[in-house]
């Protein structure tokens, strides 16, 4: 197991904020790329990440996965693929870009739940209470209706967060096992690109040069975000640093207002506040800054 210290935690915080900025830009470029098929967007995103992570590994000339990590890596790839499909669909179809972003930020809460089973980490009563509180915020943002079709984008965003939370937990398990960040990113990107290729070709639509540029930038930002978040969760557990991932909400709000001219409604703003407050409360409790007896 990796021993947590102040130096590791500081690095985890730094990398989680960097990943939040990269992922907010990634989501923005996905939105700007317009009404293209989801598999087309996902393919280009992972294709670029494959090339970048390949050249990172090329410096070491070591592409080997550590013994015993192949099965875990396979589960990380599968969970990541489902997560990105649901997330990209939500980003492309929800009424506002910032709504999709904040719903995706349920991922750290799911990571806490999955850590019980995968990492054997203990949870307390407040973990479940705060999780329910966060989901109340998600309901305000999603505004579910009896019309299932209208609710699909919001449901997709939550499912994207669920699979992302699973992926984050597996990443931490791989970190415990000494696996390198670049290896995790490279094999996830490579395998998913190969799998998404036929799906992309079947639904391919011609792109403008600007749309192609946006998709290429999506891949660059995604790779930066993946490398950073992988580093973050190998330095510190989710319960210690996940609150800082919510800086992405701030980045998304600023980009949404000034680039997309999107303003969230009152219910969404209240939902943002509840989810962020949930994350802050959990961080304060688990770090012992709010109470030492919880």
**The pLDDT of residue 141 is above 70:** yes
81-129 tens-digit pLDDT: 999 999 999 999 887 888 888 888 788 778 878 888 887 777 677 777 8
Spatial contact of 9 and 235, defined as CB atoms under 8 Å apart: yes
Q: Using CA of residue 281, residue 134, residue 38, residue 31, what is the dihedral sign?
A: negative
Cα–Cα distance measured from residue 283 to residue 53, given in angstroms and rounded to the nearest whole number: 32
pLDDT confidence of residue 202: 94
Least confident of 1-10, 53-62, 168-177: 1-10
Residue 261: left (phi > 0), alpha (psi -120 to 50), or beta? left
DSSP 207: -
Spatial contact of 69 and 177, defined as CB atoms under 8 Å apart: yes
Spatial contact of 243 and 285, defined as CB atoms under 8 Å apart: no
Tokens of 231: 């580093």
Cα–Cα distance measured from residue 232 to residue 236, given in angstroms and rounded to the nearest whole number: 6
Q: Confidence class of residue 78 from pLDDT cuts 50, 70 and 90? A: very high
The backbone torsions φ and ψ at residue 126, rounded to the nearest 5 degrees and listed phi first, read -70, -25
Which pTM value belongs to this model?
0.81
Tokens of 17: 């904020």
Tell me which of 61 and 197 has the higher pLDDT.
197
Q: Confidence class of residue 1 from pLDDT cuts 50, 70 and 90? A: very low
CA of residue 43 relative to chain centroid, distance: 17
Tell me which of 248 and 75 has the higher pLDDT.
75
> Which SS3 state, helix, strand or coil, does residue 62 take?
coil
Query: What is the average pLDDT value for the chain, to the nearest integer?
Result: 84
Spatial contact of 225 and 30, defined as CB atoms under 8 Å apart: no
Q: What is the mean pLDDT of residues 266-283?
A: 82
Spatial contact of 238 and 79, defined as CB atoms under 8 Å apart: no
pLDDT confidence of residue 214: 95
Q: What is the mean pLDDT of residues 210-227?
A: 90
Q: What is the mean pLDDT of residues 240-262?
A: 81
Cα–Cα distance measured from residue 273 to residue 134, given in angstroms and rounded to the nearest whole number: 10
Q: Confidence class of residue 294 from pLDDT cuts 50, 70 and 90? A: very low
Percent of the chain with pLDDT over 70: 91
């Amino acid at each position: 197991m990796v021993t947590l210290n102040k130096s590791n935690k500081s690095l985890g915080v730094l990398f989680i904020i960097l990943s939040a900025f990269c992922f907010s830009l990634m989501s923005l470029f996905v939105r700007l790329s317009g009404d293209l098929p989801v598999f087309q967007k996902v393919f280009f995103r992972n294709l670029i990440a494959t090339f970048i992570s390949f050249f990172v590994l090329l410096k070491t000339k070591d592409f080997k996965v550590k013994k015993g990590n192949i099965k875990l890596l396979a589960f990380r790839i599968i969970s990541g693929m489902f997560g990105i499909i649901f997330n990209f669909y939500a980003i492309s179809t929800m009424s506002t870009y910032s709504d999709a972003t904040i719903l995706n930020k349920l991922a750290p809460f799911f990571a806490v739940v999955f850590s019980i089973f995968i990492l054997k980490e203990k949870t307390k009563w407040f973990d479940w209470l705060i999780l329910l509180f966060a989901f109340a915020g998600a309901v305000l943002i999603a505004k579910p209706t009896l019309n299932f079709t209208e609710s699909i984008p919001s449901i997709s965003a939550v499912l994207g967060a669920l699979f992302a939370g699973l992926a984050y937990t597996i990443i931490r398990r791989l970190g415990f096992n000494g696996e390198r960040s670049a290896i995790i990113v490279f094999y996830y990107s490579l395998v998913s690109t190969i799998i998404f290729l036929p799906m992309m070709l079947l639904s391919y639509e011609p792109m403008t040069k600007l749309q192609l540029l946006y998709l290429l930038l999506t891949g660059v930002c995604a790779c930066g975000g993946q490398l950073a978040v992988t580093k973050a969760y190998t330095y510190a557990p989710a319960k210690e640093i996940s609150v800082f991932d919510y800086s992405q909400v701030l980045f998304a709000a600023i980009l949404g207002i000034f680039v997309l001219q999107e303003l969230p409604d009152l219910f969404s703003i209240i939902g943002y506040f509840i989810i962020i407050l949930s994350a802050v409360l959990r961080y304060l409790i688990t770090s012992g800054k709010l109470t030492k007896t919880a």
